[in-house]
Amino acid sequence: MTDLPAPRISDLARAQSPQSAPQSAAADYLAGLNPEQREAVETTEGPVLVLAGAGTGKTRVLTTRLAHILATGRAKPWELLVVTFTNKAAREMRERIGHLMGPSAEGLRWLGTFHSVAAQILRRHAELVGLKSSFTILDTDDQERLLKQLLEAANIDTKRFTPKSLAHMIDHWKNRGWTPDKLPPGEDFANGKGPALYAAYQARLATLNACDFGDLLLHNITILSKHADLAEEYRRRFRYILVDEYQDTNVAQYLWLRLLTSSTGNVCCVGDDDQSIYGWRGAEVDNILRFERDFPGAKVIRLERNYRSTKHILGAASALIAANQDRLGKTLWTEDDSGDKVRVRGVWDGEAEARLIADEIETARKQGMNYKDMAVLVRASFQMRAFEERFLMLAIPYVVIGGPRFFERAEIRDAHAYLRLIQSEDDDLAFERIVNTPKRGIGDTSVQRILHIARENGVSAMRAVRHLITTDELQARTRTPLANFVRDLDRWRDLMAMGTPHWQVTETLLDESGYTAMQKADRTSGQTRLDNLKELTQSMQQFETLQAYLEHVSLVMDLERRDENADGSGSVQIMTLHGAKGLEFPLVFLPGWEEGVFPSQRSIDEKGVKGLEEERRLAYVGVTRAKQDARISFAANRMVYGRWTSQLPSRFVDELPLAHVEPQSDTGYYGASTGMKEAKSRWDDAPSFGGGYSSPGWKRAQTYTAAQTPKPAYARRAVIEGEGRLIATADPKATSGWSRGDRVFHQKFGYGHVRAVEGNKLVVTFDKAGEKKVIDTFVEKA
């Protein structure tokens, strides 16, 4: 996070009253603040909402405000309640206060995360919710083991309704502040058994003198709600309350704060409604939007001067977020007039996008920029694969932040283990990994025995299994699932031998093995894993055989093991947009700005307009991570399950202002999917063609077309009814059967003539729609 430097005020620690605070010291610690920051620091009395935009020095304001309260004698350190969202943020704030205040900062007893502060309160009053002060806090593994016992006791299928999914559901209920007796209609699990399971779980926790993390706040709410005198005591104790990242609070955190704060109390909440991006884990942006209603007479202070980004980046981000209706409103500005416009690039497909970004990274590196100063921010983890492979090929060092690399993910390794075992029965490592994944009732003891027998007889584990399932050396309960496993492998191997494409066999084995169902049952990260598996099968289509694909994976994994930081310039960072919040980089790449990808179709389907607005806030966060240079890209086509899918550029692309954007596209497709076919796009008159898709053949086609006819003015891409996209079956390696001059018909663009051919990509001049570039399977002979 970008903050202005603050000097140490060593004599602040000795200040006990407004009169005793040295004027020179006050001038020192306030001198570096801009007028809005200073107002946020000095407005100490009553409710205050500080709307701190990206890069406006929020942390500097928070720590200086605390120092100011202590330096002027308004409160003692133990009379302050300071709440953050992460332990890292709490540590950073404590260090900064210590730097300003010296030893007296050690008296800040109530500075920490929501859960750590709530745990302190619960320890003091545990008996009020049936616990002892020595209660334990269960970790995730203990919680899931306990829930598994309860599910089995209730005769519920733990494969269909997993302990992890129940834990996720209970966490959701606790984040909403619901106890078992207050679950509203519609909140359920396992066909009506949710409330009973929740109640049984809470009862079991009480018996064990334990709680989970959700209980820390939930029990606090129960105690403070039922004991008004105790709540009032805490309100008197905490003379000043400061809350960081208020836009990310959930319902339980909001209720907890309201119980500790009177409507006229000295509470200061700092946050940015435009950066509320965690609705998927319970955050309620309405908490910050209704602050003035919750605290009548509250003062709202806007920090709008940005110290991070250039004017073009801020101009693009501000225009983008302005399309949201539910926001308090602010406009970031900067005195930095340098920097280029935000670049927006349209490319043919995902592979072309990876090539473009890799080339631009290499160019930036040659110009002196370190790899560590560049970041690729994606909407979903499945998008990372293409960039990882391209970076490995070009020896561009990179690191995936917030998760393993694509080929190191558990679900990808599992799928590869199945494929390796199909290719070779002698692969004992693959056998050991997936013989009981998903669960087949083949325990670890049985697996180790099989491996022992195989080693003793000098054969592979699979050969040993084929022998053991015909004898009585293993129990029947183990032989049966092993026999089924062998039968399945043989069937999938036969499919491959009969010529079924290897990627289709992969889809089949994932479904028939129960692996897909296992991921669908996981309500926490199962969908992300399924998306990664879809990306896997898509990437396999580039290889003619399974052997060729597995050899490619081996080479990729070998490249990953090489030294990445030999030149000391660090690594390009790849991460999701959610993981990038709070970070900053000189150069930021934002790929995949296409409808259905970003904004996420799933988010829109589940939450409607509210989901769309959160997606737009995520786009705003992404753009404002860039300090000097932001580059956005979208692809016109994606290969999904052997079908070319024609992608619409994201509506966010169309919302970017041309005054701050430099657009270019290889596809001739500008504009976005507003949902209105006749709506005119601001991109209609944008310049066409640029770098990006760079194959020699395609360049020749462009040159030839340009020489034959004047360059047309490209019309906005049509918005297609239904799903908003065109789908046609195509082989990515196919050679088109079309020739220049052929008369064609397109369902949306009408009649036209083929002007140029490159593989299965056509340049067609349509009678009414002008020149378009389409996949050959989108047209038919006229």
For the chain, the distance separating the N- and C-terminal CA atoms, rounded to the nearest angstrom, is 59
> What angle, rounded to 10 degrees, do the helices at 384-393 and 526-540 form?
50
Residue 625 is a catalytic residue: yes
| Positions at the binding site for ATP | 52-59
Has 59 been annotated as catalytic? yes
Unique residue bearing structure tokens 């064990």: 208
> Which residue in the list 244, 294, 360, 776 is annotated as catalytic?
244
Bond into 599 cis (ω within 30): yes
Q: What is the CA radius of gyration of the chain?
A: 30
Residue with tokens 């100011």: 68
Amino acid at 137: I
282 with 253: CB under 8 angstroms?
no
Q: Are strands 210-211 and 779-781 parallel, antiparallel or unpaired?
A: unpaired
Catalytic residue among 36, 37, 58, 302: 58
In the β-sheet with 779-781, what is the strand arrangement from edge to edge? 770-775, 761-766, 750-758, 743-746, 779-781
How many CB atoms lie under 10 A from the CB of residue 225?
12
Catalytic, out of 176, 308, 529, 625: 625
Q: Is 58 annotated as catalytic?
A: yes
Catalytic residue among 36, 37, 59, 716: 59
Q: Which two tokens stand for residue 631?
A: 């580059």
Active-site residue, selected from the candidate residues 215, 245, 411, 584: 245
Distance CA 352, CA 370 (A): 24
Q: Is 109 considered catalytic here?
A: no
**Residue corresponding to tokens 């302005």:** 322
Whole-angstrom Cα distance, residue 81 to residue 116? 12
Query: Which residue bears the tokens 């302050």?
Result: 80
245 classed as catalytic: yes
Contact between 684 and 671 (Cβ < 8 Å): yes
Task: State the DSSP H helix or E strand holding residue 511, giving kind and residue range, or none if neither.
Answer: helix 502-512
Residue type, 741: G
Q: Which residues is 426 bridged to in the sheet?
A: none
Binding-site positions read: 52-59
Burial letters 701-733, b for 16+ CB under 10 A, else e: bbeebeeeeeeeebbbbbbbeeeebbeeebebe
Closest CA to 638 of 385, 265, 331: 385
Report the DSSP beta bridge partners of residue 753.
Answer: 743, 765
d(CA 489, CA 474) in angstroms, rounded, equals 20
Chain centroid to CA 229: how far?
Answer: 43
Backbone φ and ψ for 712, nearest 5 degrees, come out as -80, 165
Give the C-alpha separation, 204 to 211, whole Å.
10
Cα 604 from chain centre: 15
Q: Does residue 302 carry a catalytic annotation? A: no
Catalytic residue among 162, 253, 275, 667: 275
Kindly list the catalytic residues: 58-59, 244-245, 275, 625
